[in-house]
Amino acid sequence: MRSYHRISSEHREEIMVYCANGDNQETIAKKTGFSRSAISRELKKGNDRGSYNPFLVQRKTDYYAKSRSRALKINESTWQVIENHLVIRWSPYQIADFLQKGANDGIVVPVSEKTIYNYLHFHMKGELKKPALQELSQKEKERSAKSAEKCGKLASITLSDERPEEVNARTVPGHWEGDLIIGKDHTSALSVIVERQTRYVLINRLENYTALEVRESIEKRLKTLEPQLVKNITCDQGKEMAEHERLASSIKMKVYFCHPHSPWEKDTCENTNFLIRDMLNGETDFRKLSQRSITRIARLPNERPRQTLGMYKLSPFVKTTFRKN
């Protein structure tokens, strides 16, 4: 049994693999060294339409940790003002506006609307909490509806259910996954494509990440490979993939799409994105990075020993499999 109780993102990747293999909670607990109750709670937190989604639970964990940290920085005098106004049924938005305009005595400090909601979620109970959180829930629904309307729907897509079995089996190369890592203030992005069997990754820096730029970026990288190594690619249903039919025609490959909110259907790319973010050391303004530096970053995961590949580095695979003569 482990001497600590925190489940990290690496542990969650292990748990995802064990779940995919059909292991039960007791078996997963033995393999990971966590208690069965800890695994049970983890699977419940990561439950997404009946399957364990490590990315979902990691996002929740990161969000809650960040929210708690912010809440602790607010002094007692400010919280007292917040609670006094909640008693008379002021909304968090109204309270935040009041604090922004009137908190100038050096004791009571301005607090954002979001921080007040975080405080309600983690510290308050009873009648004050319920109406405010109901208001937040309604706002989140409105934002989600606006976001969905803005993104629109892609035409003539083929869902990941129709991928051939060899894609899931990872027995042969040529099956790719693609995604974007969006930069600071949505002003730049990285296009990431990963081959499922070898985990070979290609990264391109994008200026505007329009559908045209994304298509041309993927075309440019995949056209350098032998045709038998480019059979299909699986992506999200984002508007950046609006030119998927032209992409499929240009490279003569099939383009598949994940179901909405189902990142595990391209789990190789999701895991690779975590690695890339870590290797960027917190840099999120990709305009500051040249394509040459991005290519150097891609070499790090490509040359990283991987348990799935028998702990061999990927370099031999790249030299013998992916480089044209």
> Residue 279 domain-assigned?
yes
Last residue of some domain: 29, 45, 68? 68
> Residue 3 domain-assigned?
no
Same domain, 40 and 164: no
Look at residue 144 in the predicted model and tell me its pLDDT. Answer: 46
Beta-ladder partners of 233:
176, 255
> Residue 13 domain-assigned?
yes
Look at residue 246 in the predicted model and tell me its pLDDT. Answer: 95
Residue numbers of the domain that contains 287: 160-322
Q: Which two tokens stand for residue 176?
A: 């790719």
What are φ and ψ of residue 203, in 5° steps?
-125, 135
- Record the pTM: 0.55
Same domain, 274 and 131: no
Same domain, 80 and 225: no
How many Å apart are CA 250 and CA 213, to the nearest integer? 14
Compute the C-alpha angle 232/233/239, nearest 5°.
135
> Residue 292 domain-assigned?
yes
How many Å apart are CA 118 and CA 139, to the nearest integer? 15
> Residue 248 domain-assigned?
yes
Residue 305 amino acid letter: P
Look at residue 264 in the predicted model and tell me its pLDDT. Answer: 82
Q: How many separate domains does the chain show?
A: 3
> Are 193 and 137 contacting, i.e. CB atoms less than 8 angstroms apart?
no
Same domain, 50 and 110: no
Residue 116 amino acid letter: I
Same domain, 274 and 307: yes
Residue 133's Cα: distance from chain center in Å?
Answer: 25
User: Is the backbone of residue 298 left (phi > 0), alpha (psi -120 to 50) or beta?
Assistant: alpha
Counting beta carbons within 10 angstroms of the beta carbon of residue 52, is it exposed (0 to 12), middle (13 to 18) or buried (19 or more)? buried
Last residue of some domain: 109, 132, 151? 151
What are φ and ψ of residue 299, in 5° steps?
-65, -30
How many Å apart are CA 113 and CA 125, to the nearest integer? 18
Same domain, 130 and 172: no
Q: Is 175 helix (H, G, I), strand (E, B) or coil?
A: strand
Look at residue 128 in the predicted model and tell me its pLDDT. Answer: 47
Same domain, 96 and 61: no
Same domain, 302 and 197: yes
Last residue of some domain: 151, 182, 202? 151
Same domain, 165 and 99: no
Residue recorded with tokens 């970026």: 217
Same domain, 37 and 103: no
Look at residue 297 in the predicted model and tell me its pLDDT. Answer: 85
How many Å apart are CA 231 and CA 234, to the nearest integer? 11
Give the CATH number for residue 257.
3.30.420.10
pLDDT in tens, 264-316: 889 889 888 888 887 887 778 898 889 998 988 888 778 766 656 665 555 45
- Residue 258 is classified by DSSP as P
Q: Which two tokens stand for residue 55?
A: 């990315």
How many Å apart are CA 12 and CA 209, to the nearest integer? 30
Low-confidence spans in the chain with pLDDT less than 50: 3-4, 125-129, 136, 140, 142, 144-151, 315, 325
Q: What CA dihedral angle connects 163, 166, 171 and 172, to 10 degrees? A: -70
Look at residue 206 in the predicted model and tell me its pLDDT. Answer: 93
Beta-ladder partners of 234:
177, 256
Q: Which DSSP helix (H) or strand (E) runs through 201?
A: strand 201-206
> Residue 268 domain-assigned?
yes
Look at residue 175 in the predicted model and tell me its pLDDT. Answer: 95
Q: Which two tokens stand for residue 217?
A: 């970026």
pLDDT in tens, 172-206: 899 999 999 998 888 889 999 999 988 899 999 99
Same domain, 169 and 144: no
How far from 82 is each of 53, 64, 107, 133, 135, CA to CA, in Å? 36, 21, 13, 15, 16
Same domain, 221 and 116: no
Look at residue 202 in the predicted model and tell me its pLDDT. Answer: 93
> Residue 128 domain-assigned?
yes
> Residue 293 domain-assigned?
yes
